[in-house]
């Protein structure tokens, strides 16, 4: 199982329309070989559509698609070296686990003995050796999920696609299986495209994340880059929690911006030239509640929740309602307390309005 | 893909060179054509002077050469496509121009000697050449676009379009042509007066004692039957779902029985009960001293027979509809303090309205198309379907009149069909796949319940009596006159001379023909129906809506019309099929195809689409996907389609009666013949045997279906 040649995926100006509905507007993207890339975004933004275009289950309305350097725009799914793991697993209920895993090899007329041996190796890889004679209905959800993965990887695809592969599993199993998938992908050096709703899942498994919104790509980057340097308020809000407040940028110099917020001037890191009205991104962890007389934004606690290791507060201020997370230490604030919110300027970020 | 094309081309060339191009009287299995002197293969015929066959052979050769001459795949595919299409087009054209008898194209323009001499109908050679050219064309078409199309899908579409074109549209076209035909030409001005004559559309019965036109008679009967069956069906469906009636199972059986009963048998039983010498008639006459009348041989007789025959269809539609009304809506209504009657009146009934309309239209179409009951009972009330028959086989054969009547009938059924499609066509499937809803359906309020019982129970009783009559009648000497017990009818029909083992009964021939033809037609129907369903549910292609519409269309073409059109179209070259058993098989396949399609669509919609997609992304092509994934999971649907088309083939009479021949007689037309001779006992005995045969077949298949379904269900349950 080591001769897999991972392929790159390249979209150039890809448009997909279903009748009047535009599911993708002019998509350009490049996925490097051997990387696990996640498509992340709110419901209906076009993630599944993108995946199906890579698989060849849908044909692009416009633009070209290359896989492993080859133009596959008009090639149907049968002829693309791409495998897919479906959300519902789509295991064939009338075949045993081994027959399921060997299916792709059987239809390609790989000799029986070799197919059986490769199927067995695939099952071993996902930790299901010895389960070959069972029917899919005799497996647990997590096991079925792993059979689906085995079935997809025994073909040594150039690209492995996974459409919300964990959404049918419970929270604990999810973490376990996602780590397994990541390990298998890295061990085999597969190119994988992974669709999920769940931003934590995306951060945990991905080399790169492609955030989509409204049939477009909103930002591409590593998990850290998306969190640290969001390019828009949508990204800031979608990746990790964020408080957004309107502010004025006076000037930008040496990567530091002078920002006026609520009458106070702050110095905030900024890699982009901005001026005039902008928005400041304040992560809940980067805010600190102080006694009312200290410097900062004045406000009143309207909600306080005790979560064991941390406190969550909602504070009403004149720059808006702020969501604050702070470690539990000493006497926490209570609902109705007047407070002052201190801003850690190094951790604040700026995005355009 | 080039190999596939080459394979088909080779088949075409071989057929052109060594198989008899034209039809031979002795059939293909007789090998005399190979040895006798007549130049019969396409190649020999061309050499012997039938130059018009040459282009087809040339097209095959040219396409063959193209496979090696042109390197660029897309260009090669395009050129091959054009060549194959030209070959097909030429075949059709020469077939329609150069015919031995019957109508031909360009009659007045082309008058050469060879052309007038004509040729026989196309035979095995021509058929295989056409098939080869068709597949060469479809495979090339799939390759001639950008990228790689799916040859299997395109070929299946092409084949079905060609078959529906030849065996549904081509014959119906013939009716149209015939209706406009006058001596030596065609005329519109002749058509309209004949079409709108008072014989057809007259309304005289509204104003006086004279009778209305046949179309008006048919229309009136159809509206009455549609309304009647809908009410009865609703009553049954309500009893079935909203009461705790004890004998629900018996009701269910009663509603299934008419489906396996040949259509005229009910009419027959009504004669035995209410005819001049009928049991009830005599009883009533004795009791009240009333005159024995012939009322059953008129509107009321036909109407009763149709109510008995078609209520089960309405019931089957409406039970889905009634169950589809979500209990939570009714519960909501009741929590808003509506009583049960108000809930039914203002919530349930309006929700059922589309379903009721659907049931009505189905009853309407069935009544218009019904042939058996009016034939047996309708001597005093003429309707279109039987008038068409009499125009063909009556004392004065008048095909033009038959064609005009057929158009009138077609107009009515097609309008109803279009109405149904436009209005609620798409909705009707949705009720089946509705979301499971917990909660209790509101039970009926007492008045409504009584009403339902009052409507449905007499009907059920009558059905029971009718079927007892059928059994009883087959064992008595002469109904109405001599009620002594006898086996004579069965012996006459199905006697076996035990000493010699010879089958001496008169019915054996038609019985075996019927079973053979039905068992050949059933799998073909299932195949065509399910392939169409697969294309409709799982494939996207250009013109899909038109494709769906045309495959469902034959449902709206009454059997009588199909029968007439087949006689008109297939009695002459180029496709000369009358008198063969093939035409019977074909007529069954295309008459019953819509049912196969619907069953297939329903079954296919329950298979998760991601199963096919998984197979395809794993590198299987559509053919492998169908064979390895879809077919194994569709077992029950396939068996259901098989059963249904088998039963329909055995019971149908309307189209068949035109197409049977002395050599290939079918059970139903044999029985109708006995009825016309007044041999009721024999007819009924035969019908009883048919019903039992079908019951046995259904039970056998049900056993298989039942087992399959259970096993599949518990396999699927957790995995998807
Ligand atoms: N077959 C189809 N016909 C018409 N519109 C479609 C079809 N498939 C998807 N769409 C539309 O395209 C858009 C993108 O759909 P897509 O399935 O890619 O969303 P998604 O990002 O996967 O959403 P989710 O997270 O909910 O799965 C949606 O607006 C959807 O309604
Ligand atoms: Mg999706």
User: What average pLDDT does range B221-246 have in this prediction?
Assistant: 86
Tokens of B404: 């005009």
Q: B339 and B455 share a domain?
A: yes
How many residues make up chain A in this entry?
353
Query: Would you say residue B580 lies in a domain?
Result: no
* Contact status, residue A237 vs residue A210, Cβ threshold 8 Å: no
- Are B252 and B368 in the same domain? yes
Do A279 and A260 form a contact (C-beta atoms < 8 A)? no
Do residues A299 and A258 lie in contact, with contact meaning Cβ atoms separated by under 8 Å? no
Q: Does residue B414 belong to the interface with chain A, where contact is any CB pair within 8 Å?
A: no
Cβ of A137 within 8 Å of Cβ of B718? The answer is yes
For the beta carbon of residue B246, count every other beta carbon within 10 angstroms.
Answer: 8
- Pick from B145, B620, B716: which is nearest to A107 by CB? B620
Neighbouring residues of B582: CB distance < 8 A, sequence distance ≥ 6 = none
Distance, CA of B298 to CA of B270 (rounded, Å): 12
CA distance B672 to B517: 19
Do B120 and B225 fall into the same domain? no
Q: A220: pLDDT confidence band, cut at 50, 70 and 90?
A: very high
**B632-683 confidence digits (pLDDT tens):** 888 777 777 788 888 888 888 888 888 888 788 888 888 888 888 888 888 8
Q: What pLDDT score was predicted for residue B713? A: 35
Q: Is residue B282 part of a domain?
A: yes
> In this structure, is residue B56 part of a structural domain?
yes
Residues B248 and B128 in one domain: no
Domains by residue range for chain A, with CATH = 9-228 (3.40.50.300), 241-352 (2.40.50.140)
Res B717: pLDDT: 33
- What would the mean pLDDT of A49-71 be, rounded to a whole number? 92
Residues A214-233: what's their mean pLDDT?
90
Residues B355 and B438 both lie in one domain: yes
pLDDT surpasses 90 at B227:
yes
- Of A272, A266, A271, nearest to A344 by C-alpha is A266
Number of domains making up chain B: 2
Query: Over the stretch B412-432, which tens digit does the pLDDT of each residue have?
Result: 888 888 887 776 555 443 333
Choose one of A14, A17, A49, A217 to mutate for the ligand 1 pocket test, by most ligand atoms within 8 angstroms of C-beta: A49
Angle at the Cα of A325 from the Cα atoms of A319 and A326, rounded to 5 degrees:
115
A74 lines ligand 1 (CB under 6 A): no
B524 to A266, B587, B649, B665, B686: CA distances (angstroms): 81, 11, 12, 20, 27
Closest partner residue to A86 (CB to CB) among B614, B620, B633 is B614
- Residue A141 is inside which H or E element, if any? helix A141-153
Chain A CB contacts of B629 under 8 Å are: 92
For position B281, which CATH number holds?
1.10.3720.10
Query: Cα distance from B541 to chain A (closest Cα, Å)?
Result: 12
**What integer is the mean pLDDT of B685-711?**
73
- Ligand that comes closest to the CA of residue A216: 1
- Domain-terminating residue out of B127, B149, B171: B149
Are B371 and B247 found together in one domain? yes
Q: What is the mean pLDDT of chain B?
A: 78
In a domain, B330, yes or no: yes
Residue B439 lies in a domain: yes
Q: Which residue of B has its CA nearest to A84?
A: B617
**pLDDT tens readout for residues B149-174:** 688 888 999 999 999 999 988 888 88
Query: Does residue A76 contact residue B147 with C-beta atoms inside 8 Å?
Result: yes
The DSSP code for B41 is B
What integer pLDDT is reported at residue B720 of this predicted model?
30
- CB-based contact B629:B618 (threshold 8 Å): no
Residue A63 has pLDDT above 90, yes or no: yes
Asked whether A132 lines ligand 1 (CB < 6 A), one says no
Q: Are A341 and A296 in contact (CB under 8 A)?
A: yes
Alpha carbon distance A38, B413 (integer Å) = 56
Q: What are phi and psi of A165, to 5 degrees?
A: -70, -15
Specify whether B132 is located in the same domain as B267. Answer: no
Ligand 1 neighbourhood includes A43 CB (under 6 angstroms): yes
Q: CA dihedral defined by B638, B640, B642, B644, rounded to 10 degrees?
A: -150
Name chain B contacts of A107, Cβ cutoff 8 Å: 615, 618-621, 624, 628
The chain B residue lying nearest A100, using CA atoms, is B615
Higher pLDDT, B254 or A303: A303
Residue with tokens 């005329």: B187
Chain B nearest C-alpha distance from A1 (Å): 17
Please give the backbone phi and psi of residue B654, each rounded to the nearest 5 degrees, phi first: -60, -50
Quick one: which of A175, A182, A177, A29 has its CA closest to A89?
A: A177
Q: What own/partner pairs with CB < 8 Å and gap ≥ 24 does A220-223 have?
A: A220/A29
Helices in B203-348 by DSSP H: which ranges? 204-207, 214-242, 248-256, 263-274, 279-288, 299-324, 327-335, 340-343
Rg (CA), chain A: 25
Across the interface, whether the CB atoms of B610 and A103 are under 8 A apart is answered no
Tell me which of A114-118, B84-88, B234-238, B378-382 is least confident: B378-382
Counting beta carbons within 10 angstroms of the beta carbon of residue A350, is it exposed (0 to 12), middle (13 to 18) or buried (19 or more)? buried
B36 in contact with A, Cβ within 8 Å: no
Reduce the DSSP state of residue B599 to 3 states and report it: helix
How confident is residue B56, by pLDDT bands cut at 50, 70 and 90?
A: confident
B30 interfaces chain A, CB cutoff of 8 Å: no
Query: Do the beta carbons of residue B65 and residue B110 sit within 8 Å?
Result: no
Nearest chain B Cα distance for residue A210, angstroms: 23
> Which residue of chain A comes nearest to B631, CA vs CA?
A94
**Dihedrals phi, psi of A228, to nearest 5 degrees:** -80, -45
- Within-domain flag for B494: no
Residues B12 and B117 in one domain: yes
Q: Could you give the CA distance from residue B633 to residue A94 in angstroms, rounded to a whole number?
A: 7
Spatial distance between the Cα atoms of B120 and B217, rounded to a whole number of angstroms? 42
The answer to whether residue B632 neighbours chain A at the CB level (below 8 Å) is yes
**Farthest-apart Cα atoms in chain B, separation:** 93
The reported pLDDT for the residue numbered A35 is 93
- Sign of torsion over alpha carbons B225, B227, B228, B231: positive
In short, whether A47's Cβ falls inside 6 Å of ligand 1 is yes
Task: Please tell me the predicted confidence (pLDDT) of residue B381.
Answer: 83
Tell me how close the Cα of B621 comes to any Cα of chain A, in angstroms. Answer: 6
What is the rounded distance in angstroms from the CA atom of residue B471 to the CA atom of residue B688?
Answer: 7
The string of DSSP codes covering B342-354 is HHIIIIIHHHHHH
Alpha carbons B237 and B231: distance in angstroms, whole number = 10
Which residues of chain A lie closer than 8 angstroms to B718, CB-CB? 136-137
Residues B23 and B144 grouped into a single domain: yes
Domain of residue B142 covers 2-149
pLDDT band per the 50, 70, 90 thresholds, residue B334:
low
Ligand nearest to the CA of A163: 2
B550: closest CA among B604, B584, B593? B593
Residue of A nearest to B619 (CA): A78
Residue A16 pLDDT > 90? yes
Q: Which of B589, B705, B588 minimizes the C-alpha distance to B640? A: B705
pLDDT band at B194 (very low <50, low <70, confident <90, very high): confident
Give the least confident one: A89-103, A142-156, B69-83, B204-218.
B204-218
Chain B CB contacts of A77 under 8 Å are: 613, 616-617
Is B81 inside any structural domain?
A: yes
Judged by its nearest atom, the ligand closest to the C-alpha of residue A45 is 1
The phi, psi pair for B93, rounded to 5°, reads -65, -50
Nearest ligand by distance to the CA of A215: 1
Whether residue A108 contacts residue A78, with contact meaning beta carbons closer than 8 Å, is answered with: no
Helix pair B54-69, B124-143: axis angle to 10 deg:
30
Q: Report the distance separating Cα B242 and Cα B135, nearest Å.
A: 54
Report how far Cα B257 is from the mean position of its chain's Cα atoms: 19
- A24 vs B291: CA distance, rounded Å: 81
Q: Are residues B431 and B332 in the same domain?
A: yes
Whose Cα sits closest to atom 29 in ligand 1? A44
The contact set of A with B (CB < 8 A) is 55-57, 73-80, 82-84, 86-94, 103-104, 107-108, 135-137, 139, 144, 151-152, 155, 161
> Which residue has its alpha carbon closest to ligand 1 atom 22?
A48
Whether B118 and B253 map to the same domain: the answer is no
Phi, psi at residue A268, to the nearest 5°? -120, 135
Cβ of A20 closer than 6 Å to ligand 1, yes or no, is no
Percent of chain B past pLDDT 90, that is, above it, reads 7
d(Cα B254, Cα B263) in Å, to the nearest integer? 15
With beta carbons under 8 A apart, name residues in chain B contacting A89: 719-720
Q: Are B518 and B528 in contact (CB under 8 A)?
A: no
What's the rounded Cα separation, in Å, for the pair B204 and B216?
10
B560 and B653 Cβ atoms separated by less than 8 Å: no
Minimum CA–CA partner of B634 in chain A: A94
DSSP state of A281: E
Domain boundary among B149, B170, B187: B149
Q: Is B620 on the interface with A (CB under 8 A)?
A: yes
Instruction: Return d(Cα B214, Cα B222) in angstroms, integer.
Output: 12
φ/ψ region of B591 (left if φ > 0, alpha if ψ in -120 to 50, else beta) reads alpha
* pLDDT on residue B438: 42
Considering the domain boundaries, does residue B156 fall inside one? Answer: no
Contacts of B147 in chain A (CB under 8 A): 73-76
Q: Do B351 and B460 share a domain, yes or no?
A: yes
Packed helices B559-570 and B384-393: angle between N→C axes, nearest 10 degrees = 30
**A79, A86, A136: residue with CB nearest B148:** A79
Q: What is the pLDDT of residue B292?
A: 61
Cβ atoms < 10 Å from Cβ of A126: 22
Q: CB–CB of B385/B374 below 8 Å?
A: yes
- As a whole number of angstroms, the distance between CA B476 and CA B122 comes to 50
What letter would DSSP give residue B498? T
Q: How far away is chain A from the Cα of B64, in angstroms, using its nearest Cα?
A: 26
Helix or strand run (H / E) with residue B598: helix B581-605
Instruction: Order the strands of the A310-317 sheet from edge to edge.
Output: A287-290, A338-343, A297-306, A310-317, A320-327
In chain A, what is the greatest distance between 2 CA atoms, to the nearest angstrom?
80
The shortest C-alpha distance from A118 to chain B (Å) reads 15
Indicate the angle between helix axes B680-719 and B635-651, nearest 10 degrees.
170
The last residue of one of the domains, among B149, B166, B198, is: B149
């Amino acid at each position: 199982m080591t001769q897999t040649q991972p392929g790159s995926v390249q979209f150039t100006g890809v448009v997909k329309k279903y009748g009047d509905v535009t599911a993708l507007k002019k998509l350009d993207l490049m996925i490097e070989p051997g990387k696990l890339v996640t498509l992340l975004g709110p419901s209906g933004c076009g993630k599944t559509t993108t995946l199906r275009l890579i698989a060849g289950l849908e044909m692009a309305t416009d633009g070209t698609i290359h896989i492993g350097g080859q133009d596959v725009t008009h090639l149907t799914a049968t002829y693309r070296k791409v495998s897919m793991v479906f959300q519902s697993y789509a295991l064939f209920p009338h075949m045993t686990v081994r027959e399921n895993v060997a299916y792709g090899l059987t239809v390609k007329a790989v000799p029986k003995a070799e197919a059986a041996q490769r199927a067995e190796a695939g099952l071993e890889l996902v930790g299901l050796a010895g389960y070959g004679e069972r029917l899919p209905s005799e497996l647990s959800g997590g096991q079925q999920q792993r059979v689906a993965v085995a079935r997809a990887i025994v073909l040594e695809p150039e690209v492995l696609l996974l459409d919300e592969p964990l959404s049918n599993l419970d929270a604990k199993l999810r973490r376990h299986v996602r780590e397994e998938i990541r390990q298998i992908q890295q061990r085999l050096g597969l190119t994988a495209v992974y669709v999920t709703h769940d931003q934590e899942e995306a951060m945990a498994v991905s080399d790169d994340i492609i955030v989509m919104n409204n049939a477009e790509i909103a930002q591409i980057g590593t998990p850290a880059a998306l969190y640290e340097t969001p390019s828009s308020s949508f990204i800031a809000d979608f990746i990790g929690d964020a408080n957004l407040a309107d502010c004025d940028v006076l000037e930008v110099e040496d990567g530091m911006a002078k920002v006026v917020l609520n009458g106070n001037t702050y110095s905030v890191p900024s890699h982009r030239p901005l001026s005039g009205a902008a928005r400041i991104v304040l992560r809940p962890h980067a805010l600190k509640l102080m006694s009312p007389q200290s410097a900062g934004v004045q406000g009143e606690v309207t909600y306080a929740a005790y979560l064991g290791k941390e406190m969550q507060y909602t504070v009403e201020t004149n720059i808006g309602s702020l969501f604050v997370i702070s470690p539990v230490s000493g006497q926490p604030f209570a609902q109705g307390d007047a407070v002052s919110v201190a801003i850690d300027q190094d951790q604040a970020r700026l995005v355009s309005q | 893909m080039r190999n596939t094309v080459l394979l088909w081309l080779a088949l075409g060339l071989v057929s052109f060179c060594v198989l008899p191009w034209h039809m031979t009287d002795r059939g293909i299995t007789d090998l005399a054509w190979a040895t006798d002197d007549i130049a019969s293969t396409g190649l020999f015929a061309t050499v012997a002077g039938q130059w018009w066959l040459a282009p087809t052979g040339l097209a095959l050769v040219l396409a063959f050469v193209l496979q090696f001459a042109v390197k660029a795949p897309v260009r090669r595919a395009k050129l091959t496509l054009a060549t194959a299409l030209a070959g097909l087009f030429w075949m059709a054209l020469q077939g329609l121009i150069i015919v031995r008898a019957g109508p031909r194209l360009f009659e007045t323009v082309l008058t050469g000697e060879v052309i007038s001499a004509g040729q026989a109908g196309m035979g095995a050679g021509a058929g295989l050449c056409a098939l080869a050219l068709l597949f060469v064309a479809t495979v090339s078409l799939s390759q001639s676009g950008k990228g790689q199309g799916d040859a299997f899908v395109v070929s299946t579409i092409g084949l079905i379009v060609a078959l529906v074109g030849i065996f549904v549209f081509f014959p119906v076209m013939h009716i149209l042509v015939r209706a406009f035909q006058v001596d030596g030409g065609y005329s519109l001005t002749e058509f309209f007066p004949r079409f709108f004559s008072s014989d057809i559309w007259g309304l005289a019965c509204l104003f006086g004692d004279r009778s209305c036109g046949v179309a008006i008679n048919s229309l009136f009967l159809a509206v009455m039957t549609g309304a009647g069956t809908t009410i009865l069906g609703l009553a049954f469906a309500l009893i079935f779902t909203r009461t705790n009636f004890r004998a629900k199972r018996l009701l269910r059986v009663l509603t299934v029985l008419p489906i396996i009963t040949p259509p005229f048998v009910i009419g027959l039983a009504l004669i035995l009960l209410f005819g001049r010498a009928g049991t009830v008639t005599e009883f009533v006459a004795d009791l009240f001293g009333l005159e024995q009348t012939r009322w059953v041989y008129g509107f009321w007789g036909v109407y009763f027979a149709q109510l008995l025959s078609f209520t089960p269809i309405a019931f089957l539609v409406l039970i889905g509809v009634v169950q589809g009304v979500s209990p939570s809506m009714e519960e909501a209504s009741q929590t808003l303090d509506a009583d049960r009657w108000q809930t039914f009146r203002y919530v349930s009934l309006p929700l059922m309205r589309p379903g009721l309309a659907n049931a009505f239209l189905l009853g309407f179409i069935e009544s218009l198309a019904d042939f058996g009951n009016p034939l047996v009972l309708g001597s005093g009330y003429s309707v279109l379907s039987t008038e068409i028959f009499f125009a063909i086989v009556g004392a004065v054969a008048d095909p033009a009149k038959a064609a005009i009547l057929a158009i009138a009938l077609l107009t009515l059924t097609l309008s109803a069909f279009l109405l149904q499609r436009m209005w609620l066509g798409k909705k009707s499937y949705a009720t089946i796949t509705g979301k499971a809803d917990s909660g209790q359906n509101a039970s009926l309020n007492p008045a409504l319940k009584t009403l339902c019982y009052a409507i449905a129970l007499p009907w059920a009783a009558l059905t029971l009596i009718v079927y007892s009559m059928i059994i009883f009648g087959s064992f008595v000497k002469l109904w109405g006159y001599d009620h002594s017990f006898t086996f004579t009818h069965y012996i006459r029909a199905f006697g076996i001379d035990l000493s010699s083992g010879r089958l001496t009964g008169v019915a054996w021939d038609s019985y075996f023909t019927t079973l053979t033809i039905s068992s050949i037609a059933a799998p073909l129907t299932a195949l065509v129906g399910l392939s169409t369903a697969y294309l409709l549910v799982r494939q996207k292609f250009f013109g899909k809506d038109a494709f769906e519409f045309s495959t469902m269309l034959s449902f709206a073409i009454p059997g009588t019309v199909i029968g007439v059109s087949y006689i008109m179209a297939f009695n002459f070259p180029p496709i000369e099929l009358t008198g063969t058993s093939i035409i019977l098989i074909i007529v069954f396949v295309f008459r019953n195809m819509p049912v196969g399609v619907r069953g297939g669509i329903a079954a296919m919609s329950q298979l998760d689409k991601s199963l096919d997609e998984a197979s395809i992304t794993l590198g299987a092509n559509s053919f492998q996907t169908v064979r390895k994934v879809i077919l194994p999971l569709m077992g029950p649907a396939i068996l259901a389609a098989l059963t249904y088309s088998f039963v329909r083939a055995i019971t149908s009479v309307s189209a068949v009666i035109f197409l049977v021949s002395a050599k290939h007689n079918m059970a139903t037309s044999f029985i109708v013949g006995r009825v016309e001779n007044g041999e009721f006992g024999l007819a009924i005995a035969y019908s009883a045997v048919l019903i039992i045969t079908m019951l046995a077949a259904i039970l056998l298949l049900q056993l298989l279906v039942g087992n399959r379904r259970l096993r599949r269900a518990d396999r699927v349950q957790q995995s998807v």
